[in-house]
Amino acid sequence: MAKTISINAGSSSLKWQLFNMPEEQVVAKGLVERIGLKDSIFTIKYDDGKKYEEVLDINDHNVAVKMLLEKLIDLKIIKSFDEITGVGHRIVAGGEYFKKSALIDDDVLKKIEDLSALAPLHNPANAMGIKAFRKILPNITSVAVFDTSFHANMPKVNYLYSIPMEYYTKYAARKYGAHGTSHRYVANRCADIMGQPIEDLKLITCHIGNGASVCAVEGGKSVDTSMGFTPLAGVTMGTRSGDVDASLLPYLMDHLGMTDVHKMIDILNTKSGILGLSGISSDMRDIEAAVKEDNEAAELALEIYCDRIRKYIAQYISVMNGVDAIVFTAGVGENDTGMRERVLKPMTWFGIDFDVETNNKIHGKEAEITLPDSKIRAFVIPTDEELMIARDVEHFKKLGK
C-alpha cells in the first residue's frame, strides 16, 4: 500500500505523520520536541497503541529527520523506504512565488532557500529536510506546502505596509503571514463542528505554540493575520519578540555597540519573547512551573504573552465587524488550560461566556470551551496540518507527478 509522509517542521519541533493513501489512514505519527534545547523528546506512536520515546539532545532538524527515517525501519513500521511514495513538506515562507503547493524540483528548492530571509527560523530547516529526503528517497513525489499560500489573497488594505508603494512593487515588501495550513484546517473543522457553511462564518483562529499567530477568517478565507513580512511580527512567542517599534532597533544597537542589523534581528528571533522576558526558557511548560513557584519574571512573561493574543483577537473582531467563534490550536493552544483562561476570561464585554470547568478538562482534544448561551463560541481543535499536506501530495500523485 502506497504511503505518504507529511513533515511539519516548526522552529523547535518536528511533527510528522505517515499515511496510507488515498485512504488517509494514519500508520504512525510522531513528534520531536525541544529541538536545539537540552533533553529533546523524540516520540513515535504506531501499531494501535505502541509508543517509542527517547529523551536526548537533538541539536538541529537535520539530526531529527535522520533519526526519524532510521526509526521507521528499526521499529518495523515499514520494511523498506520503497513503501513511501510521497512526501509533503510544510514550508513557512513562499513569498510571492508560491500561491499554492508546488512539486519540488531544484528550482523550487532554490526559491525556498532564497526566501529564508522571510522565515529565518524555518525555511532553512525546511530546505534541510527536503534535501535529506531527496538523498534517501530521490524518486518519490515530493511536494512543498506553503504556510503563506492561505494568506496570499488577503485584501491589500491588510497586507500592505504604510511605506512607499515602490518598496512593494519592486521588492515585494508586504505582510505574508504564516501557519496558513493550520489556520485553513481548523477553520474548516470549526465550521463542520458548528454545522454551518464556512462561507457564512467569521472565525478567529489562534495557532499558539512556540511560534504563534492569530488569523481572521471570513467566509473561509484569510483576511488578516498577525505575522508579517516574516514570522517575527505579531504576538509574543517562545523566542520571538512579536511586534516592536522599528526605531527601537537602532537605539539598542547604539547602546550595545552593534553595527550589524542582522545580529539585532537574530536577538529578536532567538533570544526574545518568553525566553527573553523570563530569563528561564522558551517552553511554556517551564514558565508555568516557575509561575507555580511564584517567580515574578515568569508571571510577567506569561501575562504579556496572553495580553498580546487578547489584543489581536479584539482587533480582528473589529476587522470583520464581529466573530462567530474563536479557535485555539497547536501545542500550547490545545493543551494549556491556564493560557486559554487568561486570554478569554477577561473578554466578557464581547459576549464570551467562558466555561472554566470544561476548559480545565481539555488537553489535546476537540471541545467547546464556552457555555451554551455564549454570544461568541470558543473551541479547542487540534490541528492536522499533516493531513492537509498529505492531501496536497495525493493531488500531485493523481496528476502523475
Classify 91 as helix, strand or coil: strand
Average pLDDT value for residue range 136-144: 90
Question: Using one digit for the tens of pLDDT, what is the confidence trace for 167-176?
Answer: 999 999 999 9
> For the ranges 7-11, 88-92, 230-234, which has the lowest average pLDDT?
7-11
Cα end-to-end span (Å), the chain:
18
Mean pLDDT of 36-44: 91
Is the CB of residue 213 less than 8 Å from the CB of residue 234?
A: yes
Topology of domain 197-380 in CATH is: Nucleotidyltransferase; domain 5 (3.30.420)
Res 229: pLDDT: 92
Residue carrying C-alpha cell 492569530 = 214
292-322 residue pLDDT tens? 999 999 999 999 999 999 999 999 999 999 9
Residue 401's pLDDT band (cuts 50, 70, 90): low
Model confidence at 110, pLDDT cuts 50, 70, 90, reads very high
CATH of 3-152, one of 3.30.420.40, 3.90.1150.10, 3.20.20.140, 3.40.50.300: 3.30.420.40
Encoded amino acid at 354, one letter = F
DSSP label at residue 370:
B
Distance CA 230, CA 175 (A): 8
Residues with catalytic roles? 147
Say yes or no: do domains 3-152 and 197-380 share a fold.
yes
Mean pLDDT of 255-260: 97
- What pLDDT does residue 336 have? 95
The domains of the chain are located at 3-152, 197-380
pLDDT at 134: 85
What DSSP element (H or E) covers 307? Answer: helix 296-319
For 183-266, where are the E strands, in sequence order? Answer: 202-208, 212-218, 221-225
Residue 129: predicted pLDDT: 83
Tell which residue, 139, 133, 176, has the closest CA to residue 154.
Answer: 176
Cell numbers 525555511 label which residue?
123
CA-angle at 144, arms to 183 and 209, nearest 5°: 35
